[in-house]
């Protein structure tokens, strides 16, 4: 049975977050790594998220919204603009995860 587009997009985003949470995962994230995680074609990721820049932006926005400290910390360490726009207290909490 085919999944509804919104369900499939959410499933891809969830898999991408899982990949990004791994040490160094956000900076090394590729369509291939996410497709492998979820068992879908890379083209499907492009269909729902467009460019890798847009895909990473969506992942980071989700991380900030859900306070996913691991991904935010990785984004801050790599100069991600959306991670840098996070609330200052959230950024401190995220960076503290790198120290411990």
pLDDT in tens, 2-57: 678 788 999 999 999 999 999 889 999 999 999 999 999 999 999 999 999 999 99
* CA 62 to chain centroid: 7
Statement: residue 100 has pLDDT above 70: no
Using a 10 angstrom Cβ sphere, with 0-12 exposed, 13-18 middle and 19 or more buried, the burial of residue 79 is exposed
**Mean pLDDT, range 90-100, rounded to an integer:** 88
Query: Residue ranges of the domains in the chain?
Result: 5-99
Nearest of 58, 71, 62 to residue 22 by alpha carbon: 71
Contact status, residue 35 vs residue 44, Cβ threshold 8 Å? yes
* CA 12 to chain centroid: 10
pTM of the complete model: 0.90
Statement: residue 1 has pLDDT above 90: no
Distance from C-alpha of 63 to C-alpha of 84, rounded to nearest angstrom: 12
Distance from C-alpha of 35 to C-alpha of 83, rounded to nearest angstrom: 24
């Amino acid at each position: 049975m085919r999944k509804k587009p919104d369900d499939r997009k959410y499933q891809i985003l969830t898999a991408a977050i899982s990949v990004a949470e791994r040490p160094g995962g956000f900076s090394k994230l590729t369509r291939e790594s996410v497709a492998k995680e979820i068992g879908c074609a890379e083209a499907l990721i492009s269909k729902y998220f467009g460019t890798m820049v847009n895909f990473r932006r969506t992942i980071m926005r989700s991380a900030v919204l859900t306070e996913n400290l691991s991904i935010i910390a990785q984004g801050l360490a790599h100069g991600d603009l959306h991670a840098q726009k996070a609330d200052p207290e959230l950024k401190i909490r995220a960076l503290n995860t790198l120290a411990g």
